[in-house]
Amino acid sequence: MSDAGAGGRADRPSTLFSASTLIGPATLLVAIGILAPMLFLARYSLNLYDPRLLMIEAFSPANYIAFFSDPFYLGVFFTTLRVSFVCTAVCIVLGFPLAYLLARTGSRMKNLMIIGIVIPLFVGNAVRAAGWMTFFGSRGLLSVTLMDLGLRDGPTEIMFTETAVIIGIIAVNLPYMVLTLQSVLEGIDRNLEEAAFSLGAPPWTMFRRVLWPLALPGIAAGTILCFILAMNAYATPVLLGGPQFRMMAPMVYNQFQLNNWPLAAALAFILMATTLGLTVVAGLMTRQSFRG
Amino acid sequence: MARLQLEGLSKRYNEFYAARDIHLDVAEGEMLVLLGPSGCGKTTTLRMIAGFVEPSEGVIRIGGEDVTWHPPWKRSTGLVFQNYALFPHLTVARNLAFGLEMRRVEKSEIDRRVHDALAMVRLDHLADRLPRQLSGGQQQRVALARALVVRPDVLLLDEPLSNLDAKLREEVRIEIRALQQRLGITTVMVTHDQEEALSMADRLVVMKEGEVRQIGSQQELYERPVDRFVASFVGRSSFLRGRLADGILRTEGGLEVRCSDGPNGPAAVAIRPERVTVAREAPSAENVFPGEVEHVSYLGGSIDVRVRLSPKDVVVAQMPNVEGGWLPQAGDRVHAGWSASAKAFADTETEEGTAQVS
Ligand SMILES: Nc1ncnc2c1ncn2[C@@H]1O[C@H](COP(=O)(O)OP(=O)(O)OP(=O)(O)O)[C@@H](O)[C@H]1O
Ligand SMILES: [Mg+2]
């Protein structure tokens, strides 16, 4: 395939030229805007911290060793992973049916539904989290409603718990998942579902054998997106989790504030490497199962 | 293999009937073709049989059993889609195995039946290809094999040939028909191509606006159409319009045409082009009228001659292309003749003014 493409391009060198012209600025922006700060961070993470001198030039793995030997940091790390996994899993489970509905309904309803899904994205994370705070608090809507319904005797305190953070992050991430899945599901011919039915597959089998494998690229994309967003969530854990609840992104920021740049850089790198690593693994896994 | 019966089947969308009071009885091993213009409810009917559209009224029986409310996966129908709908992520062999796996057939048995089914459509060498690596004609045959490999009671084909080019279409047409007859499988096919319908069917069903107009063999539909619509849709006809009284139609152009008896009043007589003789001297026939050749189409096997008989009346004749025969020219003065057996129909429908052969 690539051979044919190259042959085609060789006949028309102007295409090649214009393509590189178009890609050029973006490449430059990525190089300067992302790569350069990362290099700085990488370098910083190997420096040492001193309360008076702040940063001391060095080539030491001390920050990384500190992280992996300290139960506090590891605790934060695993909380972040746990929250991210739970959020992503729930987003898939909730997002798939919603995306399917969107992909298969008629045009007028669909546009309304898409608007409904996109509108929350217009509100910033912090503002949204503030909204959840009024909902979750002990005198908030949820607690009062549960008491009014007689489901709970005392006030329900979700605010400043992991549950609140998970709900908050799901609310932020779900639209991304739904929109990603929807675009993929829309590309799956409806006749394929009917073909499976007429060959004797009941709905659940049809889903497992046809819809799921065909939607897998979209599921992978949505999962990765959702997971990255959850791993790096900042405003939601800070506002809904409260001072006792910690995730990685807020902790990186804390260390910067404490002027411990080397540790902050190391934390940032660990966060990034984990996210990247799991993303690659997820990508490889979907590719494998798509072949098999 | 089983008998398929539709009893008073209707599908209503709000006030609109996509299919209305359809009665069909398809015998075991018979091939029935639903024929009709776009939007007449052919696909709707087929999808009700397959179970994808819930009937508003009526009963569907397969092999005598009432399956009206069975879901699609519990009916033994094999459906071939217009766009084939092969599973793009599965190889040809696994596409075929799908239905067998759903029926929990043993692995070795699956392999054997998949192989046999592929051999049947002469594609055994492509078993490990993905659908996108096949030509349209090959995909079509895979789709057919996939539907047949599970040995369904009823085979349903929705315009199975419409995505093939003309030459291939004729080939596949013969192939499908031969296969259907060899397996003796009860089949319902949908098409709006009358040539396809005529060449493949045991019996045809002509539909219009959701209703069945006529059911019968090719010959019955051609020789004894029940109304003007069927006469215009199956085969070609020129229509002369006027008032019918006692077997004579008086056209607006002043012709008096002898025809089969019909209801007195506004009527149209359908004249098959190949039954019209055009000659310079008046031929011997019950209806003979002088006229002027308006247009000649040289089609190779035959020649279409359009003759104006009066300012209001035009008839088309299909002349055999005889070696060294006479070839009329536009503007020639000629005579057109045909027998009195031409069918007359009550002329209530207006929109069929356009159905005249051109
Ligand atoms: N879901 C639906 N809602 C409303 N009307 C429908 C629906 N499905 C079909 N129809 C209408 O029912 C009529 C019959 O449709 P159908 O698809 O059966 O036609 P068809 O004979 O298969 O035509 P074609 O040859 O174009 O495929 C059409 O007028 C169509 O607009
Ligand atoms: Mg149709």
Domains observed in chain B: 4-224 (3.40.50.300), 237-346 (2.40.50.140)
A194 and B98 in contact by Cβ < 8 A? no
B63 sits in the region (left: phi over 0; alpha: psi -120 to 50; else beta) called left
B40 CB less than 6 Å from ligand 1?
A: yes
Worst-scoring range by mean pLDDT, A119-123, A239-243, B50-54?
A: A119-123
pLDDT tens digits, B10-28: 999 999 999 999 999 999 9
B44 CB less than 6 Å from ligand 1?
A: yes
A208 chain-B contacts, CB cut-off 8 A? none
What is the structure's pLDDT at A36? 86
Question: Looking at residues A110-129, what average pLDDT do you find?
Answer: 83
State yes or no: pLDDT of B222 exceeds 60.
yes
B207 CB less than 6 Å from ligand 1?
A: no
Of B85, B98, B102, the CB nearest to A189: B85
Exposure string (b/e) for B168-191, b if CB count within 10 Å is 16 or more?
ebeebbebbbebbeeeebbbbbbb
B18 CB less than 6 Å from ligand 1?
A: yes
Distance of alpha carbon B348 from the chain centroid: 24
Question: Looking at residues A30-50, what average pLDDT do you find?
Answer: 87
Round to whole Å and give the CA distance between A123 and A132. Answer: 13
> Cα of B187 to ligand 1 centre, how many Å?
21
Question: Looking at residues B175-181, what average pLDDT do you find?
Answer: 92
Confidence band, pLDDT 50/70/90 cuts, at residue A292: very low
| Domains of chain A and any CATH numbers | 70-291 (1.10.3720.10)
Confidence band, pLDDT 50/70/90 cuts, at residue A15: low
Question: Looking at residues B37-61, what average pLDDT do you find?
Answer: 95
Confidence band, pLDDT 50/70/90 cuts, at residue A159: confident
A290 touches chain B (CB under 8 A): yes
Residue A197 DSSP code = H
B52 touches chain A (CB under 8 A): yes
The number of the ligand nearest the C-alpha atom of B205 reads 1
Round to whole Å and give the CA distance between A37 and A256. Answer: 15
What is the structure's pLDDT at A138? 73
What is the structure's pLDDT at B356? 44
State yes or no: pLDDT of B127 exceeds 90.
yes
Residue reference for tokens 């009062």: A144
What is the structure's pLDDT at B351? 45
Give the other-Cβ count within 10 Å of B52's Cβ: 18
B98 and A209 in contact by Cβ < 8 A? yes
Confidence band, pLDDT 50/70/90 cuts, at residue A17: low
B22 CB less than 6 Å from ligand 1?
A: no
B78 chain-A contacts, CB cut-off 8 A? 198-199
* Closest residue to atom 11 of ligand 1, CA basis: B18
What is the structure's pLDDT at A290? 57
* Closest residue to atom 1 of ligand 1, CA basis: B13
- Name the burial class of residue A75, with classes exposed (0-12), middle (13-18) and buried (19+) by CB atoms within 10 angstroms of its CB: exposed
CA distances from B356 to B199, B272, B306, B353 (A): 23, 11, 11, 6
What is the structure's pLDDT at A57? 87
Ligand 1: atom nearest CA of B37 is: 25
CA distances from A74 to A134, A254, B78 (A): 31, 16, 58
How far does B248 lie from chain A, in Å, by closest CA?
53
A198 and B103 in contact by Cβ < 8 A? no
B18 sits in the region (left: phi over 0; alpha: psi -120 to 50; else beta) called alpha
How far does B72 lie from chain A, in Å, by closest CA?
5
B85 and A192 in contact by Cβ < 8 A? yes
- Average pLDDT of chain B to the nearest whole number: 91
How many interface pairs between A and B have CB atoms less than 8 angstroms apart?
Answer: 63
* String of DSSP letters for A211-280: IHHHHHHHHHHHHHHHHHHHHT--HHHHHHHTTT---HHHHHHHHHHTT-HHHHHHHHHHHHHHHHHHHH
| Angle ∠(A46,A52,A56) on CA atoms, nearest 5 | 25
Q: Which of A190, A193, A198 to mutate to test the interface with B (most CBs of B within 10 A)?
A: A198
Residue reference for tokens 């219009």: B208
What is the structure's pLDDT at A133? 82
Round to whole Å and give the CA distance between A147 and B70. Answer: 46
State yes or no: pLDDT of A10 exceeds 70.
no
Which helix H or strand E contains B220, and what residues bound it? helix B218-223
The number of the ligand nearest the C-alpha atom of B44 reads 1
Highest average pLDDT, of A5-19, A46-60, B344-358, comes from A46-60
Residue B90, strand partner residues: none
Highest average pLDDT, of A148-152, A284-288, B179-183, B340-344, comes from B179-183
B46 CB less than 6 Å from ligand 1?
A: no
B14 three-class SS: coil
What is the structure's pLDDT at A12? 52
What is the structure's pLDDT at A291? 53
The residue ranking higher by pLDDT, B197 or B356, is B197
Distance of alpha carbon A63 from the chain centroid: 26
* Closest residue to atom 24 of ligand 1, CA basis: B38
What is the structure's pLDDT at A2? 40
How far does A203 lie from chain B, in Å, by closest CA?
9
Q: For residue B87, give the chain A residue with the closest CA.
A: A192
A197 touches chain B (CB under 8 A): yes
State yes or no: pLDDT of B91 exceeds 90.
yes
A194 chain-B contacts, CB cut-off 8 A? 50, 52, 72, 79, 81, 85
What is the structure's pLDDT at A179? 93
pLDDT tens digits, A166-211: 999 999 999 999 999 999 999 999 999 999 999 999 999 999 999 9
A289: Cβ contacts below 8 Å, ≥ 6 apart: A213, A216
Round to whole Å and give the CA distance between B203 and B240. Answer: 29
B275: Cβ contacts below 8 Å, ≥ 6 apart: B338, B339, B342
B51 chain-A contacts, CB cut-off 8 A? 197-198
Question: Looking at residues A214-223, what average pLDDT do you find?
Answer: 91
Give the other-Cβ count within 10 Å of A114's Cβ: 15
A200 chain-B contacts, CB cut-off 8 A? 73, 99, 102-103, 150
* Residues A64 and A266: beta-carbon distance below 8 Å: yes
Confidence band, pLDDT 50/70/90 cuts, at residue B211: very high
Of A189, A199, A202, the CB nearest to B99: A199
CA distances from B155 to B2, B60, B143, B188 (A): 10, 15, 12, 6
What is the structure's pLDDT at B325? 84
pLDDT tens digits, A229-253: 999 999 899 988 888 899 999 999 9
pLDDT > 90: percent of chain B: 76
Residue reference for tokens 């994205």: A121
Give the other-Cβ count within 10 Å of B62's Cβ: 21
> Which candidate, B237, B238, B247, B319, places its Cα nearest to that of B283?
B319
B157 touches chain A (CB under 8 A): no
| Angle ∠(B254,B316,B280) on CA atoms, nearest 5 | 80
> Cα of B319 to ligand 1 centre, how many Å?
39
* String of DSSP letters for A19-60: HHHHHHHHHHHHIIIIIHHHHHHHHHHTSEEETTTEEE----
CA distances from A198 to A278, B85, B131, B147, B263 (A): 39, 12, 19, 9, 47
B48 CB less than 6 Å from ligand 1?
A: no
Q: What is the ipTM of this complex?
A: 0.85
pLDDT > 70: percent of chain B: 97
